[in-house]
Structure 1
Amino acid sequence: MPGTAILSQGVGYGVVLGIGCFFTLLMIGLTKLQTRYTPMKMTSISEFASASHSVKPGLIACAIVSSWTWAATLLQSSAMGYKTGIYGPYSYAAGATVQIFLFAVNAAKIKMNAPKAHTFLEVIRVRWGTFPHVVFIFFAFATAFLVSSMLITGGAATVTDLTGMNPYAAAILIPIPVALYTLVGGLRSSLLADYIHTVFLFGIILLFMFEVFVTNDKIGSPSKMYDMLVQAGKDWPVSGNKDGSYLTFQSKSAGIFMVLNLIGNLRAIASVPSTAVKGYMLGGSAWLSIPLGMAATMGLSAVVLKYDPSYPNYPIGLTSAEVAAGLPAAAAAQTLLKAGGAAALLVLLFLAVTSATAAELCATSTVMTYDIYAPYIRPGASEKELLLVDHVGIVVWCVVMAIIGWLVTAATLNDGAITMETTFQDYPMLCGNLLSIGIASIIAFTGSLIWPENYDWVETRALHAHTEASEIVPESPVEGVDDDLKNEKGVASPDQGRSAAPSIEGVELDTPEHLRKTHRFATVVATCMFVILMILIPVPLAASGWISTKVGFTTYVVIAFIWVFYGAFAVCIYPIWEYRKSLSTIFGHIWADVTGKGKK
């Protein structure tokens, strides 16, 4: 958009290549530390593909927050705030948060019936056979294809808009550094990168929030923001909102979008059952703060800052196409902080893209390994072969993502017949999503009633039970380094040194009864979250035609601040507390090596 490319092309290339190289070098260093000081080795396929099923809830929650925070999450949630007012941030956050809690139920069910599966497709193969397995492999790769195109082209468009960098170069270069550090450390390196991404993510969002609501003289307080939103509602009334106000929950577009976000990326495989569910619940509640805090800040700021002469393309402002592309956040960032704001937003969005890209690479390569190579090409393949295939799969999908990005970018820049303007309208999207979930539900429930089967899930529960138990990993050169490989009594497990799902400190044993309780708990919590977030809060506010007072808006902003601080604690501080003993031991042995007192 005019005036958005406030940064130079050199900054664009520096961010894409510089940050990527930084994470690659960091992951190489962390992997070497892991190899020296823990029993977890990259020579184990279980460690590379599923982090030895030993990831704790806090890090799982962090991975969920990072993987679900795409560039589109930050940009489109802000665009919803820009288009519909205060209901927009809530609708984006609530709809997707409930979806994550529903995934917790799904994760609990999968873990009950296939605790060591690497992919959900493996469960389909064992349960229903080859034909359904092949069909769902097709769907899995079709979905990965679409997601990859969204990630890469969205990231490339953002870099181009802010820096003027060539969009083709951005599309090709973005996935390469991500593939490199994923190749080095597998899923665990992706999880560690997720953690670092998330720390920066919350830091930058809090920077913007304090700038808008506390320090910047263009707005500087919830009270001034409220007054400016009241005036904006008079000057640019919102179609479909009560009295055209930006301060109401009676908004047709925001209500439709909340339903879309509910019905419209799983990392449950990387942990033991109990931690998977806890991680999803912690991650879901923390993720809610991302679109809420970002959109309430940048989306609403983009509305009221239209009065500022430094606003891009002032006094005309953003076109409908630029709003659809998610550019209100960029307009607000550069109006508030000039080049510094644009740079902060660029880093924020690039980290969101690379994190989701890493998750996509891990997911697709695992499907290639466990759902194509192992069952159909070379049954009984050795661990070394599987590890090689997993590495090849990462490289292959990296190339596919860069070709996808190039082709979709070319089609977009050359006015393809199918446009964002026609496909992103409220009712076409609502109709498509309702049909997709409705028809699938009807088929599943009707088929189950007509052809019921009493399946005992013995085969799925036996998945990888033998092979992983035989995956011997060399003992750590430092005894007692990893408390996470001790059982609940603090005694070294007889399976220590193996990659087969070591018991995790502070986690109950996953007996069948405990798994059932976990599933019931997840179901109750997901149901409660649905009722609260989708019915009890928005419906009365929308039905009554409520328009916020200044006190109400201030409360809205304070709640957003509190939730963002909670999210930062849950996924940035809590994971360190979870691994405090292991980290303390590792740093102790590093110090011993540095001072010459460690083992040779």
Structure 2
Amino acid sequence: MSSLQLGVGGIELVPQSTGYALLIGLGVAFCGVILVALKIQKAYLSEDSGTSEMFMVANRSVGTGLTASAVFSSWMWINETVFAAAMCYRYGIAVPLWWATGLCFQIALMAALGVLTKIRVPYAHTSLEIIRMRYGKIGHVVFIILNITNNVFGCASMILTGSQLVYGISGIHFAAATVLIPLGDIQHAYQNLPVVLYTAVGGLKATFLTDYLHTAIALLLIIYFTLEVLTNDAVGGLGGLYDKVMANAANNIVAGNFEGSVLTFKSKQAIIWALILKFGNLALVVMDTAFWQKSFATEVNATVPGYNLAALAIFGVPWGLGTVFGMTARALHNTPIWPTYPSPLTQAQVNAGFVMPYTVKALIGDSGIAAFFVLLFMALTSTVSSSMIAVSSILSFDVYKTYINPKASDKKLVKVSHLTVVFHGCFITGIALALNYGGANMTWIGYFRPILSCPGIIPLALTLLWSGQTRLAAIISPILGFFTGLAIWLGTSKALYGEINMTTTGMGVPALYGATASFFSPALYSVLISQYKPYKFDWRIFLRIELADEAQLARSSSVTAPQLPPSDTTSTVSDSEKVEPGTPSHRPAKASAAPDIAKLAPNPEHDPAVLEKNKAIFESSSAEVSLDEVHHPFNASTLQKLYWWHRVAWIWFVFIVLVTFIAWPMPLYRNYVFTKSFFSGWVTVAIFWQFFAFAAVVVYPLYDGWSEITKGARGVYHAAQNLFERERK
């Protein structure tokens, strides 16, 4: 593997001034649009991001359409667009489908875990809050480190990739691009307010709104690029593309592919890379607080359909775009219209992601490069904003409120959240610069990240799925899993290639072995360690996680719930309750006073009788509360509905895994080169899938949220009308 060194040179496709104008202009434009949208939602939809509940989990009121759009946008990284084309060029036509199958099953898994969380931990703000409730401070700190490192590496790698692309095609220095993409530097606020400002001001709901805009614009551009390239005279449609790739077959030999063809699904390197991608992407989803927060923010009936709709929609992005651009580049890379001609496209330039912009320049021209910048901006800011709100929630809620200022008011917590957004923006910028100067590239980071992040996946999932996982097992198993994966990764690199360096550790086989060990070994460790002093966790303990400052929420009429005891306090446990000694739930504590239920807005999902009973329990500050007296706040019909969605989610997850891992790709892994008719049908379905994605995550959210849209529009219309009338007088 060729290492992506600092400052990989490309062909300057647009002037540097144009690059700066596009980055800065897009940032300012998006910032303005989102701030206006936030004003409207606060004024006319009673959605105030000045409360921590709104800032962190959007008052748990997001519907199916907006959920699907937000999850889709958060998962539509540069990988799924620019690098799907680059890797298709590198390994052949198998890569885009493998990439697509490596994106959807994680989202389907999060649908199942998300709805289970609503059943067992209805008032959670972050996944780490659940960890602290069950395993105490040490477990909490371990998973904070796992979550933040996963988030930082994922986000920083995207910024690194984006800065290299911007440098390669516009000449903007990579350091300047790295700063411009995520940060709002006070000295140059007019240049780079984009992501930090709207995230800091609006919180999670702002990211939902920006995610929708990102999704709509990005999908329009993806469809435009796909069709514009295929219909170009130099390509000649699907048939013409196939003919040109076959005619150029002698110059497109890929080692490890059947007959060296780029048009075969039997590719050894592609399948190794695909397996590593699956492990890495699973970590990026399950170990990313942002995907948990989005599930917490959804309505009861929106989690499963919203996430699974996004899982289906995302499939079409790398499959269609990657196939068209990767194959087109293979057809044209040694022709006079190619930007680097007569020089060949180097491996370093492929690793840097230049395949797609070079293809756009060759076939569409300068206007296409401007549109490519917009697509790049959409993918990058979506990633960065999601990362910022996730890390902000960890630092403000799981660190500041838990260990620094447990009595922090709602106003104070939101203020800290704003500050941590800015801090994280600066921090990931520094990490991206350090990775760039260190010579790391997207491939190496993609191979290392699963080894670092995968050890926490199974212990985290078992926190909700298995009552038998002990505190010691949850703390030790991810640590042992990381060192197991690291040892196998480095050991295999040494055994196969004779030395350990950036090149050997960036090879596919050692990375695959390391990722596999890092993912599966914690399951073995957890089961074995849990046999030492086994116990059975009582799920009712999770019902003690409180909503942040219910009195503030009551005034905003956003949520109905009695104030539960703080999550670091618990009740006296009866002898019949098997609770592991040493966990926070083992120590008795006094209950907190609850807000007056009469002041809380009615919510049909809550059981009024339970609310009244819980109010009576919690309003006496001297009472020690038994778990037998704590009841689930959802009424019986809502719980029954959630359990039904839970079954549906697991059935759908198994179905997606069986289809995308086995039934679809495995029969194609044989001695077969795509025929012209098969290739045409293959790409046609991929393009139709892009249109389905547009309908699912752009059109449907408008239908699903039409009442809120019309309510906000009426509010703006009446306000404008009143202002006009006042000015006339």
1:479 alignment counterpart: none
Kindly state the Cα deviation for residue 233 of structure 1 after the two structures are TM-superposed. Answer: 2.6
Instruction: Name which of 432, 435, 438 aligns with 2:514.
Output: 432
List aligned pairs for 1:57-76, cutoff 5 A: 57-76=64-83
2:439 counterpart SS class: helix
Instruction: Name which of 202, 224, 227 aligns with 1:185.
Output: 202
Instruction: Name which of 442, 447, 468 aligns with 2:550.
Output: 468
2:554 counterpart SS class: coil
Kindly state the Cα deviation for residue 252 of structure 1 after the two structures are TM-superposed. Answer: 0.9
1:307 alignment counterpart: 334
Assess if the C-alpha contact under 8 Å between 2:44 and 2:711 holds in 1.
no
Matched residue type, 1:300? M
Matched residue type, 2:718? A
Alpha-carbon distance in structure 2 between the residues aligned to 1:331 and 1:420: 28
Instruction: Name which of 524, 527, 546 aligns with 1:442.
Output: 524
Alpha-carbon distance in structure 2 between the residues aligned to 1:356 and 1:592: 36
* Alignment length (residue pairs): 580
Kindly state the Cα deviation for residue 52 of structure 1 after the two structures are TM-superposed. Answer: 0.8
Assess if the C-alpha contact under 8 Å between 2:410 and 2:552 holds in 1.
no
List aligned pairs for 1:126-165, cutoff 5 A: 126-165=133-172
Alpha-carbon distance in structure 2 between the residues aligned to 1:157 and 1:500: 52
Is 1:530 the counterpart of 2:662 in the alignment? no
Query: 1:383-431: per-residue Cα shift (whole Å, max 9, x none)?
Result: 11111111111111111122223323333399x9998754443213212
Change (3 A) 1:338 1:92: same
Alpha-carbon distance in structure 1 between the residues aligned to 2:403 and 2:311: 36
Query: 1:117-143: per-residue Cα shift (whole Å, max 9, x none)?
Result: 111000000011111001111112222
Kindly state the Cα deviation for residue 161 of structure 1 after the two structures are TM-superposed. Answer: 1.0
List aligned pairs for 1:211-226, cutoff 5 A: 211-213=228-230, 215-226=231-242
1:250 counterpart SS class: coil
1:5 alignment counterpart: 12
Alpha-carbon distance in structure 2 between the residues aligned to 1:162 and 1:581: 43
1:230 alignment counterpart: 246
Assess if the C-alpha contact under 8 Å between 2:252 and 2:330 holds in 1.
no
Is 1:297 the counterpart of 2:314 in the alignment? no
2:262 counterpart SS class: coil
Is 1:209 the counterpart of 2:195 in the alignment? no
Alpha-carbon distance in structure 1 between the residues aligned to 2:93 and 2:440: 33
1:545 alignment counterpart: 671
Alpha-carbon distance in structure 1 between the residues aligned to 2:227 and 2:78: 21
Assess if the C-alpha contact under 8 Å between 2:338 and 2:362 holds in 1.
yes
Matched residue type, 1:311? W
Instruction: Single out whichever of 190-199 and 397-406 deviates more from structure 2.
Output: 397-406
Q: Tell me how large the CA RMSD over aligned residues is.
A: 2.9
Kindly state the Cα deviation for residue 445 of structure 1 after the two structures are TM-superposed. Answer: 3.4
Alpha-carbon distance in structure 1 between the residues aligned to 2:597 and 2:334: 66
Kindly state the Cα deviation for residue 496 of structure 1 after the two structures are TM-superposed. Answer: 11
Query: 1:33-68: per-residue Cα shift (whole Å, max 9, x none)?
Result: 112111111221111111111111211111111111
1:254 alignment counterpart: 270
Query: 1:317-351: per-residue Cα shift (whole Å, max 9, x none)?
Result: 21112212222112211111122222222221121
2:408 alignment counterpart: 381
Kindly state the Cα deviation for residue 474 of structure 1 after the two structures are TM-superposed. Answer: 4.1
2:344 alignment counterpart: 317
Instruction: Name which of 38, 47, 52 aligns with 1:45.
Output: 52
Kindly state the Cα deviation for residue 73 of structure 1 after the two structures are TM-superposed. Answer: 2.6
Is 1:512 the counterpart of 2:639 in the alignment? yes
Instruction: Name which of 705, 711, 721 aligns with 1:579.
Output: 705
2:42 alignment counterpart: 35
Query: 1:345-367: per-residue Cα shift (whole Å, max 9, x none)?
Result: 22211210111100000000001
What TM-score comes out, normalization by structure 2 length? 0.75
Alpha-carbon distance in structure 2 between the residues aligned to 1:273 and 1:447: 35
Assess if the C-alpha contact under 8 Å between 1:117 and 1:464 holds in 2.
yes
Instruction: Single out whichever of 404-413 and 284-293 deviates more from structure 2.
Output: 404-413
Kindly state the Cα deviation for residue 597 of structure 1 after the two structures are TM-superposed. Answer: 9.5
Change (3 A) 1:502 1:512: closer
Assess if the C-alpha contact under 8 Å between 2:182 and 2:429 holds in 1.
yes
Kindly state the Cα deviation for residue 158 of structure 1 after the two structures are TM-superposed. Answer: 1.2
Alpha-carbon distance in structure 2 between the residues aligned to 1:243 and 1:346: 37
Matched residue type, 1:236? N
Is 1:454 the counterpart of 2:536 in the alignment? yes
Change (3 A) 1:495 1:356: farther
2:396 counterpart SS class: helix
Matched residue type, 1:49? M
Alpha-carbon distance in structure 2 between the residues aligned to 1:443 and 1:251: 34
Query: 1:481-525: per-residue Cα shift (whole Å, max 9, x none)?
Result: xxx99xxxxxxxx98996998969xx9987333322222211111
1:595 counterpart SS class: helix
Matched residue type, 1:272? E
Assess if the C-alpha contact under 8 Å between 1:230 and 1:246 holds in 2.
no
Change (3 A) 1:193 1:146: same
Instruction: Single out whichever of 528-537 and 438-447 deviates more from structure 2.
Output: 438-447
Alpha-carbon distance in structure 2 between the residues aligned to 1:254 and 1:8: 36
Assess if the C-alpha contact under 8 Å between 2:14 and 2:369 holds in 1.
yes
Kindly state the Cα deviation for residue 237 of structure 1 after the two structures are TM-superposed. Answer: 1.6
Change (3 A) 1:588 1:497: farther
Is 1:106 the counterpart of 2:113 in the alignment? yes
2:302 counterpart SS class: helix
1:559 counterpart SS class: helix
Assess if the C-alpha contact under 8 Å between 1:46 and 1:52 holds in 2.
yes
Assess if the C-alpha contact under 8 Å between 1:40 and 1:473 holds in 2.
no
1:481 alignment counterpart: none
Matched residue type, 1:295? G
Assess if the C-alpha contact under 8 Å between 2:82 and 2:356 holds in 1.
yes
Matched residue type, 1:574? Y
Find the structure with the greater CA-based Rg. 2
Change (3 A) 1:500 1:206: farther
Assess if the C-alpha contact under 8 Å between 1:116 and 1:463 holds in 2.
yes
Matched residue type, 1:224? G
Matched residue type, 2:154? V
1:511 counterpart SS class: helix
Change (3 A) 1:501 1:278: farther
Assess if the C-alpha contact under 8 Å between 1:85 and 1:245 holds in 2.
yes
User: Identity of paired residues, percent?
Assistant: 31
Kindly state the Cα deviation for residue 304 of structure 1 after the two structures are TM-superposed. Answer: 0.7
Assess if the C-alpha contact under 8 Å between 1:7 and 1:342 holds in 2.
yes
Is 1:122 the counterpart of 2:122 in the alignment? no
Is 1:337 the counterpart of 2:337 in the alignment? no
Instruction: Single out whichever of 57-66 and 233-242 deviates more from structure 2.
Output: 233-242
Assess if the C-alpha contact under 8 Å between 1:44 and 1:383 holds in 2.
yes
Change (3 A) 1:275 1:246: same
Is 1:590 the counterpart of 2:672 in the alignment? no
1:390 alignment counterpart: 417
Alpha-carbon distance in structure 1 between the residues aligned to 2:432 and 2:275: 29
Alpha-carbon distance in structure 1 between the residues aligned to 2:27 and 2:358: 26
Assess if the C-alpha contact under 8 Å between 2:326 and 2:355 holds in 1.
yes
Assess if the C-alpha contact under 8 Å between 2:409 and 2:549 holds in 1.
no
Query: 1:418-470: per-residue Cα shift (whole Å, max 9, x none)?
Result: 98754443213212211210222222333345554322222222312484365
Alpha-carbon distance in structure 2 between the residues aligned to 1:420 and 1:72: 21
2:581 alignment counterpart: none
Assess if the C-alpha contact under 8 Å between 1:172 and 1:405 holds in 2.
no
